[in-house]
Chain A
Amino acid sequence: MELAPALTTTHDLEQELVALYPALARRMAMVLRDPDIAQDIAQSTMVRALEHRRRFNGGDLRAWVYTIGLRLAFNELRRRRTVQGRSSAEEPTWAMTMDPDLWVALAAIEPRARAALFLSVLDGYTHAEIGRILGAPEGTVSSWLSRAKDRLRSALEEDDR
Chain B
Amino acid sequence: MTHFHADLRARLLRLEAAAPDAAPDAAPAATAAPRTHGKRTVAAVGLLSLAILASAGVFSEPAQSRATYESRLRDFGVPAGAEVVAFASDADGNFFMVMYRDSSGQVVTLGGVERLHTPPPAP
Contacts and interface: CB of A to CB of B under 8 A. Distances in A.
B17 to A, nearest CB: 7
Interface string A17-48: 11001110111011000011011101110110
A94 B22 CA distance: 13
B33 interface: no
Contacts, number: 122
A14 interface: yes
Interface string B15-34: 11111111100000000000
A1 interface: no
Contacts of A53: 107
Contacts of A60: none
Interface in B71-123: 85-86, 88, 97, 99, 105, 107, 109, 113, 115
Contacts of B37: 36, 89
Interface SS of chain A: helix, strand, loop or mixed? helix
Contact of B15 (A18, A21, A30): A30
A121 B1 CA distance: 10
A124 to B, nearest CB: 9
Given A43-B45, A47-B48, A122 B9 contact: yes
Given A40-B45, A153-B4, A50 B19 contact: no
28 contacts: A10-B105, A14-B55, A22-B21, A25-B20, A25-B21, A26-B21, A27-B16, A30-B15, A35-B22, A36-B42, A38-B19, A38-B20, A39-B20, A39-B22, A39-B46, A40-B115, A43-B22, A43-B49, A44-B45, A47-B88, A50-B85, A50-B86, A84-B39, A94-B18, A98-B14, A102-B12, A118-B12, A121-B8
Interface of B: 4-5, 8-9, 11-23, 35, 37-39, 42, 45-46, 48-49, 52-53, 55-56, 85-86, 88, 97, 99, 105, 107, 109, 113, 115
